[in-house]
Amino acid sequence: MKTFYITTAIDYVNAAPHIGHAYEKIIADTIARWHRLNGEDVFFLTGTDENAQKNEQAAREKGVETKRFVDVNSKKFEELCKKLNISNNDFIKTTEKRHVIVAQNIFKKVYEKSDIYKGFYEGYYCEGCEAFLTEKELVDGKCPEHNKEPIWLKEESYFFKLSKYQDKILELLKSKDFVIPESKRNEMVSRLENEGLKDISVSRNKLKWGIDVPINKNHKIYVWFDALINYVSAIGYPNGNKFKKYWPADVHLIGKGINWFHSVIWPGILFSAGMKISKHIVVHGYLTVNGQKIGKSLDNVIDPINLVNKYGVDELRYFLIREIPFGEDGDFSEDALKNRINNELANDLGNLVSRSLTLAEKFKGETQGKDELSKKLNLKLINEYMDKFELHNALSEIWKFVNDVNKYVNDKQPWNLEGKELSNVLYNLLESLRIISILVSPFMPETSEKINKQLGIKEGKLKNCKFSKTKYKIKKTEHLFEKIK
Ligand code: ME8
């Protein structure tokens, strides 16, 4: 069976999750569910990045012991996953022993290959990014990502010979679809071509929080070196069955701010450790809230759990995917969310299901006839969009079909029909609903279940998306979506 291994970034636990975290998990989940629908053996990983300095600092500010603090906050991310109906197969916390052992193991392996050497680091460090910054990267002396002045570090440090892998990494970046979308690949290629690769610091001295450097207990492993390794520690590198089965990963889904770490540094580590390189780095854009950058200081960290409570999980999932062209930045606003709920969910899909089922429930005979609608469904195109990670286009193509079926109802006016003619229209409607239910299931799993329940059918797979003879047991119940005033 074809395997498919997908991961999200692991989230810092210095604060509660925000809508950007929810966005990433929803996209990854939809991709994972799509591949399961296609009959593949999917492994889907998410988790939390716990060894960062900023987690320790946040704990200190709250006056809580660090481990307790990260555990409590990590739970919030796990709860978010449940709330968003995320179908992850595992959740890794980088303070777990299974991770610590592997991070140290790979550090040692790279060291023994003479790709790690001791030196002296002097330069800027942004605690927000948990990254060493060059002067060039600063804007008005501040980190542009966090709008904060970095600290000046001067300390003994271990360095990773990233420069040694420059040619191999550039070749990899230039290969067609290692980084998706193209625009995000070009950014990496031109940065690498302009700046070249320097060796990078991979340890921090005199820290209390973090994973010990295995060859020198006075140092901690630099958090990014440790964090990237979660993708292999979680599946049991080097000898675990899952590692053998699923590595290399098919997709690392990440936000644009951490592209360099995944497209350049991670392959460098993998090359050095003699491991296979992940197949695709898939990069999404950033969300703003009412046009403003998400940030604690801006006080617009919208709590995704509240949004789910207020609007419903599938409503939020649908909105985020449909609203933002994949790979681009996008804005979240409750007004835009309400509009899509009322128009596309309640009107287009909700009403279609509701009026079809009302007619079907009343109809006593068997629904049969000839297929008049399947040519309206461009399954090939939907598949192509999903393969290109253009989830917004896939969803909009599915909606074209929903609205073609709506138009069919309006044209046929089945409420004025009876007997064979009515049976034929209902046959077309019910088969269309069954197929729509399959297609929307990765995007809106609960909605799909509700449709199936009312049709009295089991969940289908992608291969069942064709008109056939289905036995239905119609039982109309609730509305799929509530309109919002
Ligand atoms: O970067 N909109 O963690 P993180 C959309 N621990 N996505 C956003 C976003 C926004 N406004 N802000 C952040 C880290 N993200 C590291 C990752 S992976 C080995 C280590 C995305 O909690 C961000 O780009 O800051 C990343 O993909 C994810 O959310 C977690 O961000």
262 catalytically annotated: no
CA of 65 to the centre of ligand 1 (A): 24
Catalytic residue among 198, 296, 420, 475: 296
Alpha-carbon 70 to chain mean position: 22
277, exposed or middle or buried, with CB in 10 Å at 0-12, 13-18, 19+? middle
Q: Is the CB of 50 under 6 A from ligand 1?
A: no
For position 456, what pLDDT does the model report?
Answer: 97
Closest Cα to atom 21 of ligand 1:
255
126 catalytically annotated: yes
d(CA 339, CA 332): 12
167, exposed or middle or buried, with CB in 10 Å at 0-12, 13-18, 19+? exposed
Q: Is the CB of 9 under 6 A from ligand 1?
A: yes
CA of 315 to the centre of ligand 1 (A): 23
For position 299, what pLDDT does the model report?
Answer: 64
> Across all residues in the chain, what is the average pLDDT?
96
Closest Cα to atom 22 of ligand 1:
11
Give this prediction's pTM: 0.97
Closest Cα to atom 8 of ligand 1:
20
CA of 327 to the centre of ligand 1 (A): 14
146 catalytically annotated: yes
Q: Is the CB of 283 under 6 A from ligand 1?
A: no
81 catalytically annotated: no
pLDDT under 70: residue ranges of the chain: 296-299
CA of 254 to the centre of ligand 1 (A): 7
Q: Domains in the chain, please, with CATH?
A: 336-464 (1.10.730.10)
Specify the ligand 1 atom closest to the Cα of 52. 6
Q: Is the CB of 255 under 6 A from ligand 1?
A: yes
465 catalytically annotated: no
For position 478, what pLDDT does the model report?
Answer: 83
CA of 9 to the centre of ligand 1 (A): 6
Catalytic residue among 54, 109, 126, 412: 126
Please state whether the peptide bond connecting residue 445 to the residue before it is cis, i.e. omega within 30 degrees of 0.
Answer: no
Number of other residues whose CB lies within 10 A of the CB of residue 290: 12
Q: Is the CB of 31 under 6 A from ligand 1?
A: no
Closest Cα to atom 26 of ligand 1:
255
For position 298, what pLDDT does the model report?
Answer: 57
For position 297, what pLDDT does the model report?
Answer: 58
DSSP-H helix ranges across 196-299: 223-228, 230-233, 241-246, 259-260, 266-272
DSSP 151-199: EEEEEEEEEE-GGGGHHHHHHHHHSTTSEESHHHHHHHHHHHHHH----
For position 351, what pLDDT does the model report?
Answer: 97
Q: Is the CB of 223 under 6 A from ligand 1?
A: no
CA of 103 to the centre of ligand 1 (A): 21
